[in-house]
Amino acid sequence: MGVVNTALSVMAYDYPIEKLSVYLSDDGGSKLTLFAFMEAARFAAHWLPYCRKNKVVERCPKAHFGSSNPSRFPETDQIKTMYESMRVRVENVIKRGSISHDYITKQGESEALSRWTDGFTPQNHPPVVQVLLENGKDKDVTGHGVPNLVYISREKSTDSPHHFKAGALNVLLRVSATMTNAPVILTLDSDMYSNDPQTPLRALCYLLDPSMDPKLGYVQFPQVFHGINKNDIYGGELRHVFEVHLPGMDGLAGPTHAGSGGFFWRRVFYGCPSETPEMNLDQRVSHSIKSREVLAMAHHVAGCKYENQTKWSRKMGFRYGTLVEDVYTSCLLQGEGWKSIYCNPKRPAFLGKSPINLHDFLNQTMRWSVGLLEVAFSRYSPITFGVRSISLLSGLCFAHYTFWAIWAIPVTIYAFLPQLALLNSASIFPKVCPSMHPLALYY
Ligand SMILES: O=c1ccn([C@@H]2O[C@H](COP(=O)(O)OP(=O)(O)O[C@H]3O[C@H](CO)[C@@H](O)[C@H](O)[C@H]3O)[C@@H](O)[C@H]2O)c(=O)[nH]1
Ligand SMILES: [Mn+2]
């Protein structure tokens, strides 16, 4: 249900509905996720007008109904009942692992779910692109339009590398280009949701400001986490990153992308600022996104062999070769001349989850450490390539991240050595004599 809430929170943005499209990438390739999104599409027809009419601030249904100080409007109980029955249906299906026939109400739905044949596994399956809501055709319960909602499960094959999240993001970039090709893209993780319906307008204030540097490529919002342990013993809030490092980088060429909460000009993924023409803001794809040719093209670009012998990942899209595609890609984008801006409004734009138990924390730390070291020792290491292509200071900022894992060595020594020295009555620091005052101050 988490990702359903993520999608609903951004579908309900205060933004012209005909310009808004939500693309969901399901790397697990599960028909249960598609089913959850069929339910979400039905619920959106009630949820979007409810939010619009009542100017709801919390547009993530779970946060809205679960708030300790919930706002109440005449329809609140009715919408809450609908949300709860959707939740129960989705959770029942997940518990059972199969979708009972009573839950399928539309003809197209069983057809879409029939794509999960016997040989369909998360590691080996054809691409699935399913349009769940189409702007201009589907309407909410008040007759008002709805944003496009598209489910994508890219093709997977055991003999083609999938490149983790970067691979998924590149498929999203291409499928959205064939269907709607909007000039601005927001990346959002499935464990985050929008906490402020005005966020796109905030980002556009920067992206469309004519006084801004034309090389401005993206606006990054911080990740703010909710539901963290009271004392945050694992440091999951990452305050040093979002309150110190990123504002600091903002004074240079701009912050790194944080994987989620970044509004990008689509053109940054097609080359350096001088190579890519300004986006035509009125650019629209004229065909229906459900038309046979558009769907055929969307399936084609979601194929796992599509990128072979193309510039994808080398010159285009998110870059492969590391588990931390966000730091790597943004370092290379800045190397191409793109700039970024940090936007940290008082009301967090996005709220997300961070590990709250040792197992998840170690898992994430391991993944980040390996990913960052992959960048640190790559051909495009910020310490060699970054300092030359961006600037000395920006390169060092990226290097600070990429060598992050190595900090574990001095920190561990510092955690144990003084105590061991005390227990053994050994002295580890030199005795201070008057001539060593500056050194003593340093210690
Ligand atoms: O093979 C993969 C792996 C992950 N994801 C998605 O990537 C997102 C982030 O994954 P998560 O498990 O939440 O990882 P975190 O460690 O919490 O992610 C942080 O670190 C990642 C690597 O730097 C960034 O991409 C994320 O945005 C950032 O929140 C989720 O939406 C996943 O669905 C994929 O689509 N395919
Ligand atoms: Mn996460």
d(CA 261, CA 350): 7
From edge to edge, which strands make up the β-sheet containing 224-225?
Answer: 192-194, 350-352, 224-225
| Torsion sign over Cα 123, 264, 177, 317 | negative
Report yes or no for ipTM above 0.95: yes
Q: Which of 14, 26, 27, 118 is flagged as catalytic? A: 27
| Torsion sign over Cα 210, 213, 217, 218 | negative
Under DSSP, the state recorded for 316 is B
The reply to whether ligand 1 has any atom less than 6 angstroms from the CB of 364 is yes
287: confidence class by pLDDT, cuts 50, 70, 90: confident
177 neighbors 23 (Cβ within 8 angstroms) = no
Q: Which of 26, 140, 196, 326 is flagged as catalytic? A: 326
Atom of ligand 1 nearest to the CA of 162: 1
Q: Across residues 28-52, what is the average pLDDT? A: 96
| Interval between CA 130 and ligand 1 midpoint (Å) | 23
101: confidence class by pLDDT, cuts 50, 70, 90: confident
182 neighbors 289 (Cβ within 8 angstroms) = no
For 98-220, strand residue ranges (E) read: 128-133, 148-153, 184-187, 192-194, 216-220
Q: What is the pLDDT of residue 284?
A: 66
3-state secondary structure of 121: strand
191 neighbors 353 (Cβ within 8 angstroms) = yes
Q: Across residues 228-243, what is the average pLDDT? A: 89
Nearest CA to ligand 1 atom 27: 259
The verdict on whether residue 27 carries a ligand-binding annotation is yes
d(CA 325, CA 301): 20
The proportion of the chain whose per-residue pLDDT surpasses 70, expressed as a percent, equals 96
- The alpha-helical segments, DSSP class H, found in 278-319 are 292-301
Active site residue 27: yes
Residue 286 scores a pLDDT above 80: no
Atom of ligand 1 nearest to the CA of 258: 27
The average confidence (pLDDT) of the chain is 93
317: confidence class by pLDDT, cuts 50, 70, 90: very high
Among 30, 165, 237, 260, residue to substitute to test ligand 1 (most atoms within 8 Å of Cβ): 165
Nearest CA to ligand 1 atom 16: 364
The reply to whether ligand 1 has any atom less than 6 angstroms from the CB of 191 is yes
The verdict on whether residue 165 carries a ligand-binding annotation is yes
Atom of ligand 1 nearest to the CA of 364: 16
Identify which of 166, 347, 344 has the alpha carbon closest to the alpha carbon of residue 245. Answer: 344
Q: Where are the domains of the chain?
A: 1-153, 154-402, 414-443
Ligand nearest to the CA of 238: 1
Residue 443 scores a pLDDT above 60: no
pLDDT in tens, 71-95: 889 999 999 999 999 999 999 999 9
Active site residue 326: yes
Q: What is the pLDDT of residue 47?
A: 98
156 neighbors 122 (Cβ within 8 angstroms) = yes
Q: Across residues 15-29, what is the average pLDDT? A: 96
CA dist list (Å): 266 to 16, 167, 369, 389: 19, 16, 29, 22
121 neighbors 130 (Cβ within 8 angstroms) = no
Q: What is the pLDDT of residue 282?
A: 63
d(CA 52, CA 440): 63
442: confidence class by pLDDT, cuts 50, 70, 90: low
The fold of the 154-402 domain, in CATH, is: Spore Coat Polysaccharide Biosynthesis Protein SpsA; Chain A (3.90.550)
Q: Across residues 146-161, what is the average pLDDT? A: 96
Q: Across residues 294-299, what is the average pLDDT? A: 96
pLDDT in tens, 171-221: 999 999 999 999 999 999 999 999 999 999 999 999 999 999 999 999 999
Q: Across residues 235-255, what is the average pLDDT? A: 94
Q: Which of these ranges, 6-10, 66-70, 222-226, has the smallest mean pLDDT?
A: 66-70
Ligand nearest to the CA of 258: 1
Report the residue count for the chain.
443
- Contacting residues for 218 by C-beta, under 8 A, at least 6 apart: 254, 257, 262, 263, 264, 265, 268, 330, 333, 338, 340, 341
d(CA 122, CA 118): 12
Ligand nearest to the CA of 6: 1
Q: What is the pLDDT of residue 439?
A: 62
Please, what is the end-to-end C-alpha distance for the chain in angstroms? 51
